[in-house]
Structure 1
Amino acid sequence: MSRTTAIRPTLTPLTSDDADLLVGAARSAAEAAGVRVSVTVLDAGGHLLAFRRDDRAVLISGETSTRKAFTALQLDAPTADLVDAVQPGGPFHTLPTALDRPLLFIAGGLPVHRDGRLIGAIGVGGGAPDQDHGFAAAALDALL
């Protein structure tokens, strides 16, 4: 009897060069809009790969960018898509308080995929939620 083993192609993880590119692209998009931001990039294990806070960005933006990235990574979904899910009556209504984790359900966090697999996440904080989402999306576009 022969046994066939599926060979999975090697997945290239999110690298520090990728993280630098993501941070730079998000900051460029924010700068073009006149917004000062913080940008966080996490690898697939939730470990910090890159962080940058613009001079004069609101202080809380560092925390919000990190929590947005963590939330996008843990749920493998854009945080903008999860806002309604945590409202009263939503399927994740109790999730923000059920876990001892830094989840934040505000637009600006996006998972990063390569070859269809989750390899990390980016979070942007400092602008309005829709702006932060757009800056993070611009960063993903630059990576692809």
Structure 2
Amino acid sequence: MSTASTIGVAPLTTQDAETLLDTARRAAEAAGISVAVSVLDAGGHLLAFRRDDRAVLIAGETSTRKAYTAFQLNTPTADLVDAVQPGGLFHTLPTALDRPLLFIAGGVPVHRDGRLIGAIGVGGGAPAQDHEFASAAREALV
């Protein structure tokens, strides 16, 4: 029997998820962009979601898929765009899996004390804008 103690990392809470949602939406609003924001927990399950009234409907789906992709690969989706191009490391991955992966900037993993605890995805703006909004939200949580 091991006597070593394990120090747990606090999970992503609903309060954390609200902070992520609100920060991303405020950043998007300041840029004049209507977005959808999805937050996943440490199991990759949807913890929080909000779509602005004027955001395009598909933004809800893309925000969730971006968050899921960032979570599964523990990497911002902005860093994966080239990997799915012909000849890229993950070129066949989007069609090889029956999972909602989306290799467009706007998904960012969320870490606490060096451990993956969830992800945020933003959809509705240009990919670079979505990445900026998601990154700002993640930084506000730290």
- Alignment correspondent of 1:133: 131
Between the aligned partners of 1:6 and 1:132, the Cα distance in structure 2 is 42
- Alignment correspondent of 1:68: 66
Q: What amino acid does structure 2 have at the position aligned with 1:34? A: G
Q: What amino acid does structure 2 have at the position aligned with 1:35? A: I
TM-score computed with the length of structure 2 as normaliser: 0.97
Between the aligned partners of 1:63 and 1:109, the Cα distance in structure 2 is 12
- C-alpha deviation, 1:5, in angstroms: 4.0
Q: Of 16, 21, 45, which aligns to 1:18?
A: 16
- C-alpha deviation, 1:7, in angstroms: 2.1
Q: How does 1:109-124 map to 2 (within 5 A)?
A: 109-124=107-122
- C-alpha deviation, 1:10, in angstroms: 1.5
SS of equivalent residue, structure 1 residue 118: strand
- C-alpha deviation, 1:141, in angstroms: 1.2
Between the aligned partners of 1:114 and 1:87, the Cα distance in structure 2 is 31
RMSD: 1.0
TM-score computed with the length of structure 1 as normaliser: 0.96
Q: How does 1:37-76 map to 2 (within 5 A)?
A: 37-76=35-74
| Alignment deviations for residues 35-60 of structure 1 (CA, whole Å, 9 cap, x no partner) | 00000000011111100000110110
**How many aligned positions are there?**
142
Q: What amino acid does structure 1 have at the position aligned with 2:125? A: G
SS of equivalent residue, structure 1 residue 141: helix
SS of equivalent residue, structure 1 residue 107: coil
User: Which of structures 1 and 2 has the bigger CA Rg?
Assistant: 1
- Alignment correspondent of 2:33: 35
- Alignment correspondent of 1:90: 88
- C-alpha deviation, 1:86, in angstroms: 0.4
Between the aligned partners of 1:64 and 1:142, the Cα distance in structure 2 is 22
* Percent of aligned pairs with the same amino acid: 77
Q: What amino acid does structure 2 have at the position aligned with 1:26? A: A
Between the aligned partners of 2:86 and 2:3, the Cα distance in structure 1 is 47
Between the aligned partners of 2:80 and 2:3, the Cα distance in structure 1 is 38
- Alignment correspondent of 2:4: 6
| Alignment deviations for residues 18-48 of structure 1 (CA, whole Å, 9 cap, x no partner) | 0000000000000000000000000011111
